[in-house]
Amino acid sequence: MDEHPVRLVVEDDLRRSRVTVFFRLLLAIPHFIWVFLWTVVVVLAAIANWVATLALGRPPDSLHRFMCAYIRYVTHLGAYLWLAANPYPGFVGEEGEYPVDVTLPPPASQLRWKTLLRVLLALPSVFVALTLGGLGAVRVPYRGTGGRLGASLGGALAGITAFLGWFASLARGRMPKGLRDAGAYSIGYSAQVLAYLLLVTDRYPNADPTALLESVERPPLHPVHLVGEAHDLRRSRVLVFFRLPLAIPHVVWLVLWAVAAVLVSILVWLATLFTGRPPAALHAFLSRYVRYSLHVYAFLYLVANPFPGFAGVRGSYPLDVELPGPERQNRWVTGFRFILAVPALLVNSVLGWALGVTAVLTWFVALGTGSAPWGLRNLAAYALRYAAQLNAYVFMLTDAYPHASPLEGAGEPQLSFDDAA
């Protein structure tokens, strides 16, 4: 696939100033005022740009430059706010001056029908961007008790990584790489969405984490990682149309299995605490459960095509998970496992929103084309990988903490809690 013209450049060294981290929101207040004013102007300029691009077939140079500066500025501000970068950003969106930056294409001819329908066409990517949080959180209105209208926070991967990263940065003076990568990914995708919306390019945003973070070093290989055939994007339309009802028997079975898994995990927790190692038979049982849940979710969320089996057999499904054996585990990490898992649970919950949105979008696309979009498939696979790592951690299969980086790991496993997030 061709390289996307909007590319994220990450040169951040993960070091953070504790003082600026502590006061980050307050320090950003001038930027909030400035970005508000700039956004008002950009909305008006975007309308003019749209009319001009429709008429000329390409955006005028001056407006294009203005839009590029705005996108860069928003990217810098987002990186600062979500703790994906450390230095205080400038106010004019200078190119190449910030550790998390974005390269944008020069003005080029654009198809007029795509320009005409740009806002409509951009809607799916806006939904994805909202769940990732690079543009802000999704506020889901609901009617609470007494008929009061309230709103809940849904999605916002960047928000949750910043929240967790704030504590970690204050404690260690460094941003955990996994959280930084996740935040940078959200910001990068949002930049692509903005570029598409503001007619900087007519290339559709690509949610593929590997493509977006190609300038970022891959994390160490986690002992729990995905294996299988990622490139088979074919989807049977019949199975897609009936995906939800077809998955329900699996969901029922998964719930029953989960009850047993929870009970068994308590035994494993006690055994691991005393012997330092999970019993092999129970470890194998829980490994099957974790693998089966991945198969079911991969099917339900359209990350893979075929109907999965009910036994969680290794290698039986195109998207599978590699799990470690019953190895020795750190007793401290075992003892406090459920408390330590809370941050990962938060990350997992927002990734769940992204997973849901990608599934809905993939459902429509796959029903029409018989194929899953590569970018959405990989975003969903990232969410599933994280969920599998979390499951493996909570169910005592490993003491390696889930790694939040959207990038697949490379090289030797690194199991330290400090370096992962």
Instruction: List residues near another protein by CB under 8 A.
Output: 236, 238-239, 241-242, 244-249, 252, 305-311, 313, 316-318
Q: In the bound complex, what is the minimum distance in angstroms from residue 316's beta carbon to another protein? A: 6
In the bound state with another protein, the residue whose beta carbon lies nearer, of 217 and 229, is 229
Other CB atoms within a 10 A radius of the CB of residue 34 amount to 15
In the bound state with another protein, the residue whose beta carbon lies nearer, of 209 and 318, is 318
In the bound state with another protein, the residue whose beta carbon lies nearer, of 247 and 354, is 247
What does the alpha-carbon distance between residue 230 and residue 200 come to, in Å, rounded to a whole number?
31
Q: What is the DSSP letter of 147?
A: G
Structure tokens at 64: 């294009």
Q: In the bound complex, what is the minimum distance in angstroms from residue 322's beta carbon to another protein? A: 17
SS3 73: helix
Q: In the bound complex, what is the minimum distance in angstroms from residue 222's beta carbon to another protein? A: 24
As a whole number of angstroms, the longest Cα–Cα distance in the chain is 74
Q: In the bound complex, what is the minimum distance in angstroms from residue 232's beta carbon to another protein? A: 11
Supply φ then ψ for residue 329, to 5 degrees: -125, 150
In the bound state with another protein, the residue whose beta carbon lies nearer, of 207 and 240, is 240
Q: In the bound complex, what is the minimum distance in angstroms from residue 296's beta carbon to another protein? A: 11
SS3 289: helix
In the bound state with another protein, the residue whose beta carbon lies nearer, of 150 and 309, is 309
Residue that the structure tokens 């790694």 belong to: 403
Q: Which of 21, 68, 6, 18 is nearest to 42 (CA)?
A: 68
In the bound state with another protein, the residue whose beta carbon lies nearer, of 93 and 308, is 308
What does the alpha-carbon distance between residue 197 and residue 191 come to, in Å, rounded to a whole number?
10
Q: Which of 269, 252, 261 is nearest to 341 (CA)?
A: 269
What's the number of CA atoms in the CB half-sphere (13 Å) around residue 396?
32
Q: In the bound complex, what is the minimum distance in angstroms from residue 226's beta carbon to another protein? A: 16
